[in-house]
Amino acid sequence: MLLIHCPYCQEERPETEFRHGGEAHIARPTNIADISDEEFEAYFFIRSNEKGVTFERWRHAHGCGRFFNAARHTVTDKFIKVYKAGEPKPTLAELGLESGESQ
Amino acid sequence: MSGAYRIAGKGRLTPARQARFSFDGKFYTGLEGDTVASALLAHGVHLMGRSFKYHRPRGPISAGSEEPNALINVARDATREQPNVRATVQEIFEGLKTNSQNRWPSLEYDIGAVNNLGAPFFSAGFYYKTFMWPKAAWKHVYEPFIRAAAGLGVAPKEADTDHYANRYAHCDVLIVGAGIAGLSAALAAAQTGASVIICDEQPEVGGALHYEAGTTVDGMPGFEWAQKTAQKLAAMDNVRLLTRTTAFGYYAQNFISLTERITDHQAMVEKSAPRERLWQVRAKRVILATGAIERHMVFDGNDRPGILLASAARTYLNHYGVAVGKKVGVYTAHDSAYEAAFDLKRAGVEIPAIVDTREKPGDAVMAEAAALGIKVLTGHAVIKTSGRLRVTSMTVGRSTKGTTTKYEIDALIMSAGWTPSVHLFSQSRGKLTWDADNARFVPGTHAQDCLAVGACNGTDGLANTVEEALGAGELMARAAGAAADAEKLSLNTETAFEWTGGMVGASEGAGPDTVAKAFIDFQNDVCAKDIRLAVREGMRSIEHIKRFTTNGMASDQGKLSNMHGLAIAAEALGKDIPEVGLTTFRAPYTPVTFGTIINHARGSLFDPTRKTPMHDQEAALGAVFEDVGQWKRAWFFPRAGEDMHAAVNRECKTVRETVGMFDASTLGKIEVVGPDAAKFLDLMYTNAWDSLKPGRAKYGIMLREDGFIYDDGVVGRLAEDRFHVTTTTGGAPRVLQHMEDYLQTEFPHLKVWLTSTSEQWATVAIQGPKAREVIAPIVDDQDISNEGLPFMSVVECKVLGGVPARLFRMTFAGELGYEINVPADFGPALWDALYERVEAAGGCAYGTETMHVLRAEKGYIIVGQDTDGTVTPYDAGLGWTVSKKKTDFVGIRGLKRPDLVAEGRKQLVGLKTRNPKVVLEEGAQIVADPNQAKPMTMIGHVTSSYWSEHLGSSIALAVVVDGHKRKGETLYIPMEKETIAVEVTDTVFVDKEGSRINV
Amino acid sequence: MSEAIRTKPLPATRTGSAAASVTPAPEASRISLRAGEEALAALSSALDLGLPTQPKTSESKNGRMALWLGPDEWLIIDQNGADLMALCATVSAPHSATDVSHRNTAIIISGPGAADAINGGCPLDLSLKSFPVGACTRTLLAKIEIVLYRSSEDTFRVECWRSFAPYALGMLAEGAMDASA
Ligand SMILES: [Zn+2]
Domains and CATH numbers, chain A: 3-27+36-97 (3.30.2270.10)
pLDDT of residue B398: 86
pLDDT of residue B359: 94
Out of A13, A62, A64, closest to residue C71 by CB = A64
Specify whether the CB–CB gap between B923 and B992 falls below 8 A.
no
Pairing of strands B196-199, B239-242: parallel
Specify whether the CB–CB gap between B60 and B37 falls below 8 A.
yes
Q: Phi and psi of B743, rounded to 5°?
A: -65, -45
Specify whether the CB–CB gap between B921 and B945 falls below 8 A.
yes
Q: Same domain, yes or no, for C51 and C94?
A: yes
- Residue B20: is its pLDDT beyond 90? yes
From-to residues of CATH 3.50.50.60 in chain B: 165-292+420-494, 296-412
Interchain CB distance below 8 Å, A63 and C137: yes
Q: Same domain, yes or no, for C33 and C75?
A: yes
The sign one gets for the Cα dihedral B117, B123, B128, B129 is negative
Q: Same domain, yes or no, for C88 and C110?
A: no
| CATH T-level assignment (fold) for domain B165-292+420-494 | FAD/NAD(P)-binding domain (3.50.50)
- Residue B103: is its pLDDT beyond 80? no
Specify whether the CB–CB gap between B623 and B636 falls below 8 A.
yes
Q: Among candidates B974, B914, B966, which has minimal Cα distance to B941?
A: B974
Q: Pick the residue from chain B with its C-alpha nearest to C73.
A: B753
Confidence of residue B151 (pLDDT cuts 50, 70, 90): low
What span, in angstroms and rounded, lies between the C-alpha atoms of B528 and B300? 9
pLDDT of residue B121: 53
Whether residue C3 lies inside any domain: the answer is no
What span, in angstroms and rounded, lies between the C-alpha atoms of B412 and B299? 12
Give kind and range of the element (H or E) at residue B220.
strand B220-221
What span, in angstroms and rounded, lies between the C-alpha atoms of B865 and B908? 12
Q: Same domain, yes or no, for C89 and C112?
A: no
Q: Does C5 touch chain B (CB under 8 A)?
A: yes
- Residue B146: is its pLDDT beyond 80? no
Q: Same domain, yes or no, for C21 and C78?
A: no
Out of A1, A37, A44, closest to residue B898 by CB = A37
pLDDT of residue B155: 83
Confidence of residue B136 (pLDDT cuts 50, 70, 90): low
- Residue B98: is its pLDDT beyond 60? yes
| CATH T-level assignment (fold) for domain B904-999 | Elongation Factor Tu (Ef-tu); domain 3 (2.40.30)
DSSP E strands in B333-408: the ranges are 354-356, 376-378, 381-386, 393-397, 404-408
User: What is the percent of chain C where pLDDT is above 90?
Assistant: 96
Query: What's the C113 CA to ligand 1 centre distance in angstroms?
Result: 27
Interchain CB distance below 8 Å, C138 and A63: yes
Out of C8, C167, C177, closest to residue B608 by CB = C167
pLDDT of residue B144: 62
User: What is the percent of chain B where pLDDT is above 90?
Assistant: 88
How many domains would you assign to chain C? Answer: 2
Q: Same domain, yes or no, for C70 and C125?
A: no
Cis before B512 (ω within 30): yes
Q: Same domain, yes or no, for C94 and C38?
A: yes
Alpha helices by DSSP H, listed for B841-953, are: 848-857, 898-901
Residue B219, helix vs strand vs coil: coil
Q: How many alpha carbons fall within 13 Å on the CB side of residue B183?
A: 26
Q: Same domain, yes or no, for C22 and C79?
A: no
Pairing of strands A79-84, A67-73: antiparallel
Would you put residue B9 in left (φ > 0), alpha (ψ -120 to 50) or beta?
Answer: left
Residues B94-125 as b/e (b if ≥16 CB within 10 A, e otherwise) read eebbbbbbbbeeebeebebbebbeebeebbbb
pLDDT of residue B570: 95
What span, in angstroms and rounded, lies between the C-alpha atoms of B468 and A90? 42
Alpha helices by DSSP H, listed for chain C, are: 37-47, 84-89, 114-118, 165-179
pLDDT of residue B180: 97
Q: Pick the residue from chain B with its C-alpha nearest to A3.
A: B253
CATH assignment at residue C164? 3.30.1360.120
Q: Pick the residue from chain B with its C-alpha nearest to C32.
A: B755
Q: What are the pLDDT digits (tens) for B303-354? A: 999 999 999 999 999 999 999 999 999 999 999 999 999 999 999 999 999 9
Q: What are the pLDDT digits (tens) for C146-158? A: 999 999 999 999 9
Q: How far is B745 from chain A (nearest CA, A)?
A: 7
| CATH T-level assignment (fold) for domain B607-666+758-871 | Gyrase A; domain 2 (3.30.1360)
Whether residue C6 lies inside any domain: the answer is no
**CATH class, range B296-412:** alpha beta
What span, in angstroms and rounded, lies between the C-alpha atoms of B640 and B848? 19
pLDDT of residue B131: 56
From-to residues of CATH 3.30.70.1400 in chain B: 670-743+876-902
What span, in angstroms and rounded, lies between the C-alpha atoms of B996 and B782? 22
* Mean pLDDT, residues B285-303: 97
DSSP B524-585: TTEEHHHHHHHHHTT--SHHHHHHHHTTT-STTTTTTTHHHHHHHHHHHHT--HHHH--PPP
What span, in angstroms and rounded, lies between the C-alpha atoms of B674 and B722? 7
Confidence of residue A50 (pLDDT cuts 50, 70, 90): confident
Q: Pick the residue from chain A with its C-alpha nearest to C67.
A: A64
pLDDT of residue B118: 57
- Residue B126: is its pLDDT beyond 80? no
Q: Same domain, yes or no, for C41 and C126?
A: no
User: What is the percent of chain C where pLDDT is above 70?
Assistant: 98
| Second CATH level (architecture) for the domain B670-743+876-902 | 2-Layer Sandwich (3.30)
Residue B41, helix vs strand vs coil: helix
pLDDT of residue B120: 55
Q: Same domain, yes or no, for C22 and C63?
A: no
Contacting residues of B for C97, CB less than 8 Å apart: 673
The sign one gets for the Cα dihedral B123, B128, B129, B134 is positive
* Mean pLDDT, residues B524-533: 92
CATH assignment at residue C45? 3.30.70.1520
Confidence of residue A76 (pLDDT cuts 50, 70, 90): confident
Interchain CB distance below 8 Å, B753 and C34: yes
Q: What are the pLDDT digits (tens) for C17-39? A: 999 999 999 999 999 999 999 99
Interchain CB distance below 8 Å, A62 and C71: no
* Mean pLDDT, residues B731-736: 95
- For chain A, the average pLDDT equals 93
Q: What are the pLDDT digits (tens) for B672-724? A: 999 999 999 999 999 999 999 999 999 999 999 999 999 999 999 999 999 99
What span, in angstroms and rounded, lies between the C-alpha atoms of B76 and B85? 13
Q: Among candidates B176, B69, B171, which has minimal Cα distance to B455?
A: B176
**Cα diameter, chain A:** 44
Would you put residue B339 in left (φ > 0), alpha (ψ -120 to 50) or beta?
Answer: alpha
Q: Among candidates B930, B948, B958, B941, which has minimal Cα distance to B989?
A: B948
- Residue B442: is its pLDDT beyond 80? yes
Q: Which of B735, B893, B901 to mutate to test the interface with A (most CBs of A within 10 A)?
A: B893
Q: Same domain, yes or no, for C163 and C152?
A: yes
Interchain CB distance below 8 Å, B631 and C163: yes
Q: Among candidates B90, B191, B214, which has minimal Cα distance to B591?
A: B90
Which of C99, C130, C156 is the C-terminal boundary of a domain?
C99
- Residue B84: is its pLDDT beyond 90? yes
- Residue B128: is its pLDDT beyond 80? no
What span, in angstroms and rounded, lies between the C-alpha atoms of B132 and B120? 18
Which of C59, C78, C99 is the C-terminal boundary of a domain?
C99
- Residue C1: is its pLDDT beyond 60? no
Q: Give me the CATH code for the B1-157 domain, please.
A: 3.10.20.440
What span, in angstroms and rounded, lies between the C-alpha atoms of A80 and B230? 40
Specify whether the CB–CB gap between B355 and B230 falls below 8 A.
no
* Mean pLDDT, residues B806-832: 98
Pairing of strands B245-251, B96-100: unpaired
**CATH class, range B511-605:** mainly alpha
pLDDT of residue B510: 72
The alpha carbon of residue B754 and the mean position of all alpha carbons in its chain are separated, in whole angstroms, by 36
Contacting residues of C for A8, CB less than 8 Å apart: 55, 70-71
Whether residue C1 lies inside any domain: the answer is no
Q: Same domain, yes or no, for C122 and C59?
A: no
Interchain CB distance below 8 Å, B751 and C102: no
Residue C126 domain boundaries? 15-26+103-179
The neighbouring-strand residues paired with B817 are B767
What span, in angstroms and rounded, lies between the C-alpha atoms of B209 and B180? 7
- Residue B150: is its pLDDT beyond 60? no
Give pTM, 2 decimals.
0.95
Confidence of residue B168 (pLDDT cuts 50, 70, 90): very high
Residues B263-285 as b/e (b if ≥16 CB within 10 A, e otherwise) read bbbeeebeeebbbbbbbbbbbbb
Which of C99, C120, C143 is the C-terminal boundary of a domain?
C99
- Please report, as a single letter, which amino acid is at residue B70: A
Q: How far is B366 from chain C (nearest CA, A)?
A: 52
- Residue B884: is its pLDDT beyond 60? yes
Interchain CB distance below 8 Å, A9 and C140: no
